Amino acid sequence: MLKFRQAFRCGLAVLAVTFTPVLAAPAWAATGTVSVEIVKAGFIVGVGGGQGMLVFQGRRYPLRVGGLSVGATIGASKANLVGRAYNLRRASDIAGTYTAVGGGVAVGGGASGIRLQNARGVVLELRGRNVGLELNANVSGVEIGLR
């Protein structure tokens, strides 16, 4: 029984040493800050576009933003959003189509927040203010690219 315990402890020690570097070393990815300005209008199908800026590893990257929403969209609004971009390995990872399902109301001015993800795993968490009149309950697609 004593030999079994010693063998078991030795096995645990070997496993711990083997997997410690894997568990302790996170996958390398960085975070950037993002600011965007989006103007949107629509009736049933909404279209929008705008521009923004990514600050990543001390450099500034201008962004272009386009979007489409399908569903119950009525009105027009302008949103100024700021937040973070997670899981960036390089600045070009931010480019792509982001999707989110959600809804909201902006009358005059209101707070908004959104979480989007693209196919590369980049997650945008943005918050800010809407100005205008818009009611929506839709599926949105946002296209972001470097300018």
- The 10s digit of each residue's pLDDT in 60-83 is 999 999 875 655 566 777 888 899
Phi/psi class of residue 16: alpha, beta or left (left: φ > 0; alpha: ψ in -120 to 50)? alpha
DSSP state, residue 92: G
pLDDT of residue 139: 47
pLDDT tens, per residue, the chain with 147 residues: 555 555 445 443 443 444 433 333 345 679 999 999 888 777 656 677 889 999 999 999 999 998 756 555 667 778 888 999 999 999 999 999 988 744 444 445 566 678 889 999 999 988 887 777 655 555 467 889 998
CATH 2.60.120 fits 30-146, yes or no: no
Burial bucket for residue 50 (CB in 10 Å: 0-12, 13-18, 19+): buried
**From CA 49, how far away is CA 31, in angstroms rounded?**
24
pLDDT of residue 6: 52
pLDDT of residue 23: 37
Three-class SS state of 36: strand
**From CA 51, how far away is CA 146, in angstroms rounded?**
10
**What's the number of CA atoms in the CB half-sphere (13 Å) around residue 10?**
6
pLDDT of residue 49: 82
| Cβ atoms within 10 Å, residue 100 | 15
pLDDT of residue 78: 81
Return the domain boundaries, the chain: 30-146
The encoded tokens of residue 142 equal 């946002």
